[in-house]
Structures are given as structure tokens and as C-alpha cells.
Amino acid sequence: MASDSPPTIPTSTKPIPAREEDLSNPTTALLSFDTDSPTTSKSPHKPTTATIIFISLVLLTCIALSAAVAFAFLFFSTPQTTLNTSLSSSSSPTSSNDTASRPLKKLNNPVVLLISSDGFRFGYQYKSSLPNINRLISNGTEAELGLIPVFPTLTFPNHYSIVTGLYPSFHGIVNNYFLDPNTGEAFTMGSHEPKWWLGEPLWETVVNHGLKAATYFWPGSEVHKGSWTCPKGFCRNYNESVPFEERVDTVLDYFDLPSDEIPVFMTLYFEDPDHQGHQVGPDDPEITRAVERIDGLIGRLIEGLEKRGVFEDVSIILLGDHGMVGTCDKKLVFLDDLAPWIEIPHDWVQYYTPLLAIRPPKGVDLKDVVAKMNKGLESGKVENGKHLKVYLKEDLPSRLHYADSDRITPIIGLVEEGFKVEEKRTNKKECGGAHGYDNAFFSMRTIFVAHGPQFARGRKIPSFENVQIYNLVTTILNIQGAPNNGSLSFPNSVLLASP
């Protein structure tokens, strides 16, 4: 890969001075080269044809050397900054000259529009030209190597981490499906009882400050919790059949309200390209078509905001909840294959793949279960066994932040990228895509693109975990957020300073 750094230019190269030749009597000067004449001759020397040719060559050489020295002097005396500037402009990435946030032109207050494209794996933005998303990237701020999801890299845990700034252990949505260990009640993606949803999501924080928020399909937004009541006209009950274009147009309609009634925080959600990713994996042409459709929707949004004269005023944050990796029937681990070491009853398992979640009944030795499972998996006698490792949850890598909740099962299995866990062998043969794996896998990363008055143009920032988004939004809106797992200093590293 070619370096972005410009070639090194010497700062002060001193030219070699030309030697001064005495050409006042060139014939005499070159007599020593005349071997045809006797040295004792007193008669005038008549130069031969060879001598004349030789003298001409020497003169031409001297002229050429002088020209070269002059050129070298002019080249190396050129100011270094000028050279470096011209080289940098052709080989280095464009960087922003923004130093302060830009003033609002039409809106009275900052407005944040948070958009999620479910399953938009980092790298999908390179599958096609995507002019609208690339417009946001070129004129905004992008996480250069993607946004890091929380573990498990599943839809509900991540969407709720984005809007609360909390890891799943603390906001309570530890999986897309799980059981309450005390009551035995099941949480599903249709559960809207506030007891499941801990923490304070952004829409609640905004309303707590006497401001308006609007949500269009975001996990947790339908839950009546605290000061948030999912108000009619500003909150939608989830309905996947609603056309994406209608969702965009509804958000645009909010900007037709009187300025003081425009919600300062809005969410917008699209199921794609996650839907296609599960069916065909991340590398199918269908994914390209899906992300092109998302790009078209972003174009529709931009056009609508521009017609209303507020595009440059609105802080747009476009992101995903997780990535996607291809899976196939050859990459399976079957729990039934562990029977020689230990049997894992069906009712012990709350979730199979890619996160294996096991809760044995009381009285079962948890350490013994883990030890026997790992012994079988490491024996070499279980197909693909080496690709699954089982832990007591307190022994999981601390970077996963996945132990501090009784909703998390006491035994967790981590499967390697692209592998799946199933209970028993079947004749089912299928290939597709999955997520939910360790968030250290690059395939689980998603995008972060932000455009607006407080984001520098053309800026690239390092990757970060999505729990930082909450503080980023509250800082833009200039409101006090609830306690969370994000860093209070993080927004200062991303946002432009106030003028």
C-alpha cells in the first residue's frame, strides 16, 4: 500500500561549484595532449582536426555542466513549504480546516436525527458508489474503521445501548430473547413492559428537559417509561410493513412544524440490509442492491431537508447496530455430540447461536458443566468442537462487559466467527449470514457517519464503542444526560468547539 506521506525533500542542498577553466589560450592548455609534435619544436603549433573536435566537446561539456548546476540551484532553493504543499495535495487524504462549529441558519435550536440501518456492516459503503452516503462522509465526520457494537452483537441489545450509553448488563436487554431468572417470564422483541428496560433512553432524557422528541421505530421507544409516553404523532408502534419512503417523509414533516415545536431529537429505523444479510450473507449482490436502496433513502432525506432550508442545521448521525458474517452448514457445532462427556437438556438452553446461553437448574454444579463441555470440545472427537469455548459468565473476557446482570445465564459459550451452534444434527442445509459474535471480530463492526454544524468536514476519527453515542447527542443538544458507561470527555474529541 502506498504511503500517504509526501516524499522527503532536502531542506538545504548545496550545489557542487563548477570548476573554472582557463580558456584564454586553449591551444597551449591542451598541448600536452598533442603527441604528434616534438616537444622541442619552436615553430608555431598548428592544431589538428582531432584537437579541434576535442576542444569543442570540452566546451559543450562545460556549458551543459553549468546549466545543470544552475537548474539544481533553482530547484533546491525553492521554499520547502511550497514543495510539500503541492505534494501533499495530491497524495494525502483531505483533512478538515474547521476549528469551530458553524452557526445555525434557520433552526432556533440544535436538532439531532439518529438513523439506524440495521445490519449495515462496515465495508458495505464500498460496494457501490452510494453518492448520498458519501456526500455525508465527504462533508462530515466518519469513524474510519467503523463503529464497534456492544456484546452480544444483536439488534435489541445494541440499539438500546446506543440510546442509553449503557452496556447490556446495565440496561437489562441482554439478548433478543431471555428469561427472568426470578419469575421465569420471557423477554421477547415484542415485550414493552417498562420493567425490562432499564436506564434512561435519549427520548426520555430530552423530555425530562422540557423538549420534544420523536421516534420512528427504535427498540424501546414504544415503552411508556418515566416521562416518556410514546406520544401520538411523535412515536410509532413498530410495523415492518410501513414503506421506508413513508418513514422518511414523516420525519421530514416534523420540519414543517413551527420552529419551537420541531422535536430536537428524532430517530429513524430501517430493517435493511440486515434482512438480506441473514438470507444470503454479506457478499451477495442482493446486499449491494439493499445498500443502494438505503443510499436512495438518505438522498430523499437530504433533498427534503434542503428544500426546507435546514440541511446544514440538522445533525445527522447515520449508523448501524452490528455487522454480518457468512455462515454455512459445514460450520456447525452440535451439542448432542457432547453426550459422551455430558448431556445438555433442551430446557437448559435459552439461546443457541452465535451466543450459547445455558442456565442449568439449581443444584447443578456449574463449574462441572463447563469443565465437561470444554473437555469434550477439546477432545478432537466433536466435529468443529475446537471452534466453541464455554465459560462461567464471570470468567468471560472483561472487555465484553457481560457478567453484571442476573438476566445473563451463568454459562456462556462463545463460538468462532462464522460458526453456529445447534442442538442436534438435521438434514437441513443452508447458507446465509449471522451476527451476535464477539464484538472484537471486524465483521461485526458497522458504520458511523455524522454530518452537521458541530461535525468537522472530511474528518476521520478512530473507531469507538456505541455506548459513546448517548453523551455525543446530549452534548450537541446541550442537555444534561443520565449516568452511563460512556466517557464524558468523548464528545470533545469528536465535536467542533463552540465559536
Q: Which residues are catalytic?
A: 155
Report the SS3 class of residue 236.
coil
Using CA atoms of 106, 111, 116, 117 in order, give the dihedral in degrees to the nearest 10.
Answer: 10
Using CA atoms of 55, 57, 63, 67 in order, give the dihedral in degrees to the nearest 10.
Answer: -160
Nine-digit cell at 204? 426520555
Cell numbers 457481560 correspond to 402
Distances (CA, A) of 6 to 39, 84, 90, 144, 396: 61, 7, 9, 21, 45
- 10 Å CB burial of residue 2 (0-12, 13-18, 19+) is exposed
Which residue pairs from 291-295 have beta carbons closer than 8 angstroms and sit at least 24 positions apart in sequence? 291/117, 291/120, 291/124, 291/125, 291/127, 291/128, 291/130, 292/128, 292/130, 293/244, 294/117, 294/120, 294/133, 294/270, 295/128, 295/130, 295/131, 295/132, 295/133
The DSSP secondary-structure symbol of 362 reads: T
Pairing of the two strands 111-117 and 314-319: parallel
Give the rounded distance of the alpha carbon of 492 from its chain centre: 19
C-alpha angle 429-433-434 in degrees, rounded to nearest 5? 110
Cell numbers 408502534 correspond to 237
Helices (H) and strands (E) in the chain, counts: 13, 17
Q: Is 463 in contact with 444 (CB distance < 8 Å)?
A: no
Instruction: Give the DSSP letter string of 249-276.
Output: HHHHHHTTS-GGGS-SEEEEEE-TTHHH
Residue 171 backbone dihedrals phi, psi, to 5 degrees: -95, -5
One-letter amino acid of 258: P
Contacts of 105 (CB under 8 A, 6+ apart): 309, 310, 312, 313
C-alpha angle 453-457-461 in degrees, rounded to nearest 5? 105
Give the rounded distance of the alpha carbon of 35 from its chain centre: 80
Question: Residue 93 CB: number of other CB atoms within 10 A?
Answer: 9
